[in-house]
Amino acid sequence: MTAPRLAVIAGDGLLPELVLRAAGPDTVLVRLEGGAEGAAVSREDDLGAAHRVIARVEQLGALFDALRGHDVRQVVMAGAMQRPHVDPALLDATTAKIMPDLMAAMAGGDDALLRMVIGIFERQGFAVRGVHEIVADLTLPNGRLCGPAPSEGDRRDAARGRSILSALGPADVGQGAVVAGGLCLGLETAQGTDAMLEFVAGTRGQVARASGGVFVKRAKPGQDLRVDMPAIGPLTVEAAVRAGLHGICIQTGAVLVLDRAKVLSRADEAGVAIWAEP
């Protein structure tokens, strides 16, 4: 008996390929046309998937039919996705019915929107999986991955970052914070991690007594890890180095470490500690 067929709804970055490689050649690749700028998806890159479905966010009915045609029973969303532009002229009946709720959810935070997307697939009879359930070793166990041992001050900064993110959790804003010498120098907003770390790099000189510091990245409290899992990668390490930080503290089992080999070598080279805490 083979496993129920999986469809990968592919966003940007390295994750879709990692998932396809782990899930095997029997997997269905779904590409969404439209997207943030309304641009058409490149149809060339099938990432080795045997089956491919091109879908539009306005025509979810057609997507569900195509998935059922391929006997898909479970889906995984892999890679970063922008909030899509929606062309009302293209709506099919299935999508038109859920669009008012979807538009309302889009006005809120990421979580509200993504919870709704999960619910839409589930109500259509598809199981929704998380990338970390399919690809082994994407997240970290407790403890240090690389770099020097964090100092007591680094650990205090990490603890303060955790408590700030925990307080911010119910507001559904961001997954990252920078704390240096007890002072919060950055909180992740809709512009994302890189923009925040660049902000810290450019402005930390204005704050006396804030040397070193730690970037803390965690899932939001209660966040559904099946979509929009927090992630770090080689660019995160580069940005942390430019921001003058001592370390990156991520949540055990809940934050993806992408392109781990490059992350390790760059962090070791720059002397940036990366460790995981529950």
Site residues (vs a copy of itself, CB under 8 A): 36-37, 82-83, 85, 106-109, 156, 163-164, 167-171, 173-174, 181-187, 189-192, 195, 199, 203-204, 206-210
Of the two residues 116 and 187, which places its CB atom closer to a copy of itself in the complex? 187
Shortest distance, position 245 Cβ to a copy of itself, whole Å: 14
| H or E stretch at 51 | strand 51-56
What is the C-alpha separation between 217 and 15, in angstroms, rounded?
A: 18
Extract the tokens encoding 167: 């307080």
Shortest distance, position 166 Cβ to a copy of itself, whole Å: 8
What is the C-alpha separation between 36 and 12, in angstroms, rounded?
A: 12
Q: For 58-126, give the secondary structure using H, E and C.
A: CCHHHHHHHHHHCCEEEEEEECECCCCCCCHHHCCHHHHHHHHHHHHHHCCCHHHHHHHHHHHHHHCCC
CA distances from 151 to 95, 155, 180, 215 (A): 52, 6, 12, 14
Of the two residues 90 and 190, which places its CB atom closer to a copy of itself in the complex? 190
Q: What is the CA radius of gyration of the chain?
A: 20
Shortest distance, position 165 Cβ to a copy of itself, whole Å: 9
Of the two residues 142 and 189, which places its CB atom closer to a copy of itself in the complex? 189
What is the C-alpha separation between 276 and 245, in angstroms, rounded?
A: 16
Shortest distance, position 195 Cβ to a copy of itself, whole Å: 5
Of the two residues 38 and 69, which places its CB atom closer to a copy of itself in the complex? 38
Shortest distance, position 155 Cβ to a copy of itself, whole Å: 13
Of the two residues 54 and 173, which places its CB atom closer to a copy of itself in the complex? 173
